[in-house]
Amino acid sequence: MKEKSFVIVPLEESEAKRLAQVIANDTSRKILAILSEADASETEIANSLHLPISTTHYNMQALVRAGLVEIRGFRWSEKGNKIFKYGLAKKYVVIAPKGISVIKREIKNLLPVFALAVVGTFLIKFYMQRQTELLAITSPAKEAEALPAAASAAAAVAQPNYALWFFIGATFAIVAYLVIILISSRLKGGER
């Protein structure tokens, strides 16, 4: 499963407050600076910052919950305990108004629909090309010779491009849906 490379945190959610508290903490920022250079265990970080292991553990847990740090692996200690290696999460964190997260979620939900519209466009285009080729093969040779080249070219141009119109219609429907979602989310936000 592919992990998200960015996280949008709406300002109204408690997650934004928790993230702000973690970033405001001096110890957490020092830990992030160490992890930006190399993955490390809690013990290595505590030794590097000359902190008690309990303080380091508390801050590491807060960083993991905030999604800024992730566990990269572990090894076994001599006493048989798991020692986790931590590293920076490769994510961009965006704190945004609530309406933007609604649009982002809807766009993410509509990506498969848009992909189906593109596939449908190519299928229609392929079908129309195939039908044109079959008509050219099945028409009598005398009728084909009777039509001047310019007239047959004009007839080909005069045929509507169904694939293009399908794609335009599908794209318009998706954009119209997103506009309706944006307007309704703003109206709901204004009622509070």
Structural domain total, the chain: 2
86 touches 75 (CB < 8 A):
no
Structural domain contains residue 173: yes
The answer on 107 and 88 residing in a single domain is no
Q: Are residues 102 and 89 part of one domain?
A: no
Average pLDDT over residues 71-97: 80
Rounded alpha-carbon distances, angstroms, from residue 31 to 61, 83, 138: 12, 17, 74
State the DSSP H helix or E strand holding residue 60, giving kind and residue range, or none if neither. Answer: helix 53-65
DSSP state of 78: T
The pTM of the full predicted model, rounded to 2 decimals, is 0.46
| Domain end (from 95, 128, 162) | 95
The verdict on residue 80 lying in a domain is: yes
Listed in sequence order, the residues at least 6 apart from 7 whose beta carbon sits closer than 8 Å to its beta carbon are 67, 91, 92, 93, 94
Residues 71 and 108 in one domain: no
C-alpha gyration radius of the chain: 29
Do residues 33 and 79 share a domain?
Answer: yes
pLDDT in tens, 117-158: 888 888 888 888 887 777 767 655 545 455 555 555 555 555
16 shares its domain with 49: yes
Question: Each residue of 37-56: pLDDT tens digit?
Answer: 889 999 999 999 999 999 99
91 close to 4: Cβ distance less than 8 angstroms: yes
Confidence at residue 41, expressed as pLDDT on a 0 to 100 scale: 92
Percent of the chain as helix, strand, coil, to the nearest 5: 70, 15, 20
Contacts of 31 (CB under 8 A, 6+ apart): 45, 49, 56, 59, 60, 63, 69
- pLDDT value, residue 147: 52
What pLDDT, in 10s, does the model give residues 14-45?
777 778 888 889 999 899 889 888 899 999 99
Domain boundary among 95, 122, 147: 95
DSSP symbol at 97? -
77 secondary structure, DSSP code: -
In a domain? residue 118: yes
Straight-line distance from the first to the last Cα atom of the chain, in angstroms, rounded to the nearest whole number: 37
**In which domain, by residue range, is 78 found?**
6-95
Over the stretch 153-191, which tens digit does the pLDDT of each residue have?
555 555 677 778 888 888 888 888 878 877 777 776 644
Identify the CATH number of the domain in which residue 79 sits: 1.10.10.10
Neighbours of 38 (CB within 10 A): 10
Same domain, 83 and 104: no
Instruction: State pLDDT tens for residues 95-121.
Output: 555 555 566 777 777 777 777 888 888
Instruction: Among 69, 95, 121, identify where a domain stops.
Output: 95
Task: In whole angstroms, give the CA distance from residue 15 to residue 68.
Answer: 12
1: in domain: no
